[in-house]
């Protein structure tokens, strides 16, 4: 396993964004952006593979998630997430690729489309298009809004995850979920994201960011890969068609037997496909 060091990035409004950084400082960089309700730990396997392949990797918790600060004003809008990403990009001297899942993909797309990003050479959208399928988006919001009272055990949290994604094998040891949970003073476990994230309108979660993404889509001209889970309920044929119409350079790669959480469902296949794309558009020399 590669060695990572923790780094704290300063968001424009002063929030601390906590991330892991690994790989040679002089190598092309890949920034990993997790989905809503996740943390940087969802990229553990992908980060190790990218560092092993020779890239510099930055993998940080979005505001309101994981170890990063929560916004006092509950500013969890797409422009706020994109401004945070810009602050991270400003610390990287060389060429960069962005790999974003769901909310992280929307953030990456919006950042690239909103202002010139000459150092960003490639974009990977993981199971998200400009307009998410309504049924799948509603399912995500229902999961993230459920259990405001928390859980009495990690096994109860694992059961909630299994109910959301019954096709994914349930781990024999659920203790890995503790990276996404925090125990409060009442002794109960709560997901480690700010619950006010779900009250923001429009939010950076699908499908509400779609209009903002469509508005900036004409400015996204870099090589773009759409990674679609074969069993995804977020990316449908209409979403793919719109993406290829508005961003015609988009390549589509379908990962069989994967749902919305592509990297977690089929990590080896995901890593192989993303690395093949990056080697073409952001080669390590």
Reduced to 3 states (helix: H, G, I; strand: E, B; else coil), residue 12 is coil
> E strand or H helix at 189, and its extent?
strand 189-191
> E strand or H helix at 181, and its extent?
strand 181-183
When pLDDT is averaged across residues 215-231 and rounded to a whole number, the result is 93
Reduced to 3 states (helix: H, G, I; strand: E, B; else coil), residue 6 is strand
Between 34 and 134, whose confidence is greater? 34
For 68-100, the pLDDT digits (tens) are 999 999 999 999 999 999 999 999 999 999 999
When pLDDT is averaged across residues 46-56 and rounded to a whole number, the result is 96
The confidence band for 170, taking pLDDT boundaries of 50, 70 and 90, is: confident
Give the pLDDT confidence score for residue 1 in this predicted structure: 44
Give the pLDDT confidence score for residue 269 in this predicted structure: 82
Give the pLDDT confidence score for residue 265 in this predicted structure: 64
Give the pLDDT confidence score for residue 202 in this predicted structure: 57
For 179-218, the pLDDT digits (tens) are 889 898 898 999 989 988 887 765 555 555 778 899 999 9
Whether omega for the bond prior to residue 202 falls within 30 degrees of 0, making it cis, is yes
Give the pLDDT confidence score for residue 206 in this predicted structure: 56
When pLDDT is averaged across residues 30-39 and rounded to a whole number, the result is 94
> E strand or H helix at 10, and its extent?
strand 5-10
* Full set of structural domains in the chain with CATH: 5-134+199-281 (3.40.50.1820)
Q: Is 273 in contact with 263 (CB distance < 8 Å)?
A: no
Query: CA-to-CA distance for 57 and 249, rounded, in angstroms?
Result: 25
Give the pLDDT confidence score for residue 208 in this predicted structure: 58
Average pLDDT over the chain reads 90
Q: Which residues pair with 182 in a beta bridge?
A: 190
The confidence band for 222, taking pLDDT boundaries of 50, 70 and 90, is: very high
The one-character DSSP state at 70 is: P
When pLDDT is averaged across residues 41-45 and rounded to a whole number, the result is 91
For 237-271, the pLDDT digits (tens) are 999 999 999 999 999 998 887 777 777 667 788 88
């Amino acid at each position: 396993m590669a060695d990572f060091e923790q780094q704290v990035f300063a968001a424009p409004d002063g929030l601390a964004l906590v991330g892991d950084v690994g790989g040679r400082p002089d190598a092309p960089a890949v920034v990993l952006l997790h989905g809503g309700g996740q943390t940087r730990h969802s990229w553990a396997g992908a980060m190790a593979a990218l560092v092993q392949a020779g890239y510099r990797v930055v993998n940080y918790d979005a505001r309101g998630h994981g170890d990063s600060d929560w916004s006092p004003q509950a500013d969890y809008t797409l422009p706020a997430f994109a401004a945070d990403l810009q602050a991270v990009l400003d610390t990287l001297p060389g060429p960069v690729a962005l790999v974003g899942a769901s909310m992280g993909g929307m953030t990456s797309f919006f950042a690239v489309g909103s202002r010139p990003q000459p150092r960003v050479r490639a974009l990977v959208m993981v199971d998200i298009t400009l307009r998410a399928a309504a049924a799948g988006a509603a399912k995500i919001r229902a999961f993230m809004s459920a259990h405001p009272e928390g859980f009495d055990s990690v096994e109860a949290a694992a059961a909630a995850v299994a109910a959301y994604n019954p096709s994914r094998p349930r781990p024999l040891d659920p203790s890995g979920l503790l990276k996404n949970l925090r125990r409060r003073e009442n002794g109960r476990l709560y997901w480690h994201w700010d619950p006010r994230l779900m009250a923001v309108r429009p939010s950076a979660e699908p499908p509400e960011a779609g209009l903002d993404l469509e508005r900036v889509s004409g400015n996204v001209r870099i090589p773009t890969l759409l990674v679609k889970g074969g069993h995804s309920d977020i990316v449908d044929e209409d979403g793919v068609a719109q993406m290829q119409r508005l961003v015609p350079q988009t390549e589509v790669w379908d990962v069989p037997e994967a749902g919305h959480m592509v990297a977690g469902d089929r990590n080896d296949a995901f890593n192989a496909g993303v690395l093949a794309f990056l080697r073409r558009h952001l080669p390590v020399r």
